[in-house]
Amino acid sequence: MNVPEGLFYTKEHEWVKIDGNLAKIGISDHAQHELGDITFVELPALHAPCEQFKQIATIESVKAASDVYAPLSGKISAVNNEVVANPELVNQSPYEQGWLLVIEITEESQLANLMDAEAYKNYLKENM
């Protein structure tokens, strides 16, 4: 499974790319692989508030519906409408074109609750 360096990860298999006070969010390669063919993505409204580890979006595959959780608190500053129109982008390019949304973060200290690439790799090894 592809686990790029430089990103943060959650136990629920979201990834986070930090750029100043903006956090771009998606699901990991492992997550897209486990879900299988993704058929539907529901994203939150722009400017909606979000809270760390609370549900923020929904992804459905042929197999099942799954929740996506906010890795960090803040408010939604961008959503990727491309994945709403073409949900298969999440399978094809989970870290690039398949990004889901951007959060303007309010509590940088919450990053301590996330894993770096190495920790996430170990987490996958231990839990799979």
- Residues making contact with other proteins (CB under 8 A): 36-37, 39-40, 42, 58, 60-65, 87
Choice between 46 and 64, CB closer to other proteins:
64
Tell me the one-letter amino acid at 55.
Q
Question: Rounded to the nearest whole angstrom, what is the least distance from the CB of residue 41 to other proteins in the complex?
Answer: 9
What is the C-alpha separation between 92 and 108, in angstroms, rounded? 30
Choice between 62 and 119, CB closer to other proteins:
62
What is the C-alpha separation between 84 and 99, in angstroms, rounded? 11
Question: Rounded to the nearest whole angstrom, what is the least distance from the CB of residue 5 to other proteins in the complex?
Answer: 28
CA distances from 55 to 1, 4, 12, 73 (A): 25, 24, 11, 11
Choice between 1 and 40, CB closer to other proteins:
40
Question: Rounded to the nearest whole angstrom, what is the least distance from the CB of residue 6 to other proteins in the complex?
Answer: 29
What is the C-alpha separation between 45 and 47, in angstroms, rounded? 6
